[in-house]
Amino acid sequence: MKILIAFLVVLISLLQYRLWYGDGSFKQTEKYQLQLDQLQQQLALKQQRNKALEAEVLDLRKGKEAIEETARHDLGLIRQDETFFQVIE
């Protein structure tokens, strides 16, 4: 009987050790949860960026206004009937 009790105590101790310190322990699970939260935040940011890029692509495909706006902003283009004023502060 004493051997059985000693065996059960050792078995429970080993299971408790694995629960607290081994693979799949509470600490490791918490660490994985933090990594998962960080990855979900990064995913949300990238999804917002993708939506913005998708909207820009659709806008560029639809009309010339977006192309004109992009050319004016990026290349500094002006029309023939416009006058360009540069204000230096």
pLDDT confidence tier of residue 76, bands split at 50, 70 and 90: confident
Element containing residue 39 per DSSP (H, E): helix 26-62
In the structure, what pLDDT confidence band is assigned to residue 51 with cuts at 50, 70 and 90?
very high
pTM here?
A: 0.51
CA gap 51, 54 in Å, rounded? 5
> What span, in angstroms and rounded, lies between the C-alpha atoms of 51 and 44?
11
Model confidence band, residue 43 (pLDDT cutoffs 50, 70, 90):
very high
Residue 67: other Cβ atoms inside 10 A: 13
Instruction: Spell 73-87 as b/e; 16+ CB within 10 A means b.
Output: eeeeeeeeeeeeeee
